[in-house]
């Protein structure tokens, strides 16, 4: 359900993937962060992970993306006999936005479009959907934190991957930005994509599953 009049571009369809996390245990030093965490996520579904600071939301997301090796358990994508790897199907938004301060959104997004083998034509409509199309030629160092985050969200959408892993996506966003984020996520789910987001904010995503990580220690 879209709440603004944002128009999203027609990207080539991707193959929707299942995400399966089974029996994941994570620790930092000798501190156990997550114990025996399991999650099954199908196409079109969204999960909002919450929990106090330090419960391991970020570490869990990083483990699902394959950046950190879990103590136990495994993460797999796809249902077929040949499981896909995170490098095939994950679009990532971390704490840092992955932008270079001397680049403009146009340069950065063109680069990532080329890296992902995507066309450039979707850049402008996506920037418009996040309401930052007027900033396309302004260096990232002169964008506010919220504007940088919107630009990073455009990069996530531009990757055209089925599984989005978002770490505090709404952190620096204002009310309008959160609405547009919700629309972006709704659009992604309507295409068969899935989203796992770590957040401590109350995000109003329609029928998103909510998981309190504090209960998994």
Partner 1 sequence: MSALGAILAREARLAWAGGGGPAGPAAFFLGAITLAPLAIGPAADLLVAVGPGIMGFAALLSVLQSADRLFGDDHVDGTAELYLLSGVSLPGLVLAKVLGQASATLWPLPVIGLFGALMYGVPVLPACVGALALLAAIPALSLIAGFAGALAAGVRRSGLLIALIATPMMVPVLIFAAGAGRSALAGDERALANLLLTIAVSLATAALAPFGIVAAVRSRMG
User: Is position 97 an interface residue for partner 1 (rule: CB under 8 A)?
Assistant: yes
215 contributes a contact to partner 1 by CB under 8 A:
no
Strand order in the sheet with 163-167: 90-93, 163-167, 194-198, 46-50, 209-212
Q: How far is the CB of 66 from partner 1 (least distance, A)?
A: 8
Examine residue 40 and tell whether it contacts partner 1 (CB under 8 A): no
* Choices 13-21, 41-49, 98-106, 200-208; region in contact with partner 1 by CB under 8 A: 98-106
Long-range contacts of 87-92 (CB under 8 A, 24+ apart): 88/161, 89/14, 89/17, 89/161, 89/162, 89/163, 90/64, 90/65, 90/66, 90/161, 90/163, 90/164, 90/165, 91/156, 91/157, 91/159, 91/160, 91/161, 91/163, 91/164, 91/165, 92/65, 92/156, 92/165
* Helix pair 145-158, 175-190: axis angle to 10 deg: 10
Q: Which of 1, 12, 53, 96 binds partner 1 (CB under 8 A)?
A: 96
> CB of residue 102 vs partner 1: minimum separation in angstroms?
4
Interaction of residue 68 with partner 1, rule CB under 8 A = yes
From 55, 86, 160, 199, residue interacting with partner 1 (rule: CB under 8 A): 86
Q: Alpha-carbon torsion 27, 33, 37, 39, what sign?
A: negative
Run of H or E including 74: strand 72-77
Q: Which range touches partner 1 (CB under 8 A), out of 42-50, 82-90, 172-180, 197-205?
A: 82-90
For residue 144 the two structure tokens come to 């506010």
Of the listed pieces 3-11, 15-23, 84-92, 122-130, which binds partner 1 according to CB under 8 A?
A: 84-92
Per the structure block, which two tokens stand in for 37?
A: 């965490």
From residue 109 to residue 128, the character string flagging contacts with partner 1 as x (rule: CB under 8 A) and all else as - is --xx-xxxx-----------
Query: Closer to partner 1 at the Cβ: 6 or 26?
Result: 26
Q: Minimum distance between the CB of residue 217 and partner 1, rounded to whole angstroms?
A: 20
Query: Of these, 38, 101, 121, 144, which contacts partner 1 (CB under 8 A)?
Result: 101
Binding residues for partner 1, rule: CB under 8 A, are 62, 65-69, 86-88, 90-92, 94-103, 107, 111-112, 114-117, 155
């Amino acid at each position: 359900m879209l709440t603004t009049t944002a128009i999203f571009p027609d990207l080539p369809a991707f193959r929707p993937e299942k995400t399966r996390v089974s029996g994941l245990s994570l620790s930092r030093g000798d501190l156990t962060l997550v114990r025996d965490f399991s999650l099954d996520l199908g196409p079109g579904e969204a999960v909002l992970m919450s929990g106090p600071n330090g419960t391991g939301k970020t570490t869990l997301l990083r483990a699902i993306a394959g950046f950190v090796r879990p103590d136990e358990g495994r993460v797999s994508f796809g249902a077929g006999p040949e499981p896909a790897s995170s490098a095939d199907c994950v679009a990532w938004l971390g704490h840092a936005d992955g932008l270079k301060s001397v680049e403009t959104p146009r340069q950065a997004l063109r680069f990532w479009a080329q890296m992902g083998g995507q066309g450039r034509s979707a850049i402008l409509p996506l920037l418009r959907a996040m309401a930052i199309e007027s900033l396309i030629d302004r260096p990232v160092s002169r964008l506010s934190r919220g504007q940088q985050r919107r630009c990073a969200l455009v990069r996530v959408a531009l990757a055209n991957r089925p599984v989005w892993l978002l770490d505090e996506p709404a952190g620096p966003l204002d009310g309008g930005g959160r609405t547009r984020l919700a629309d972006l996520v709704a659009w992604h789910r309507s295409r068969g994509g899935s989203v796992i987001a770590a957040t401590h904010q109350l995000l109003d995503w329609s029928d998103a599953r909510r998981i309190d990580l504090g209960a998994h220690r």
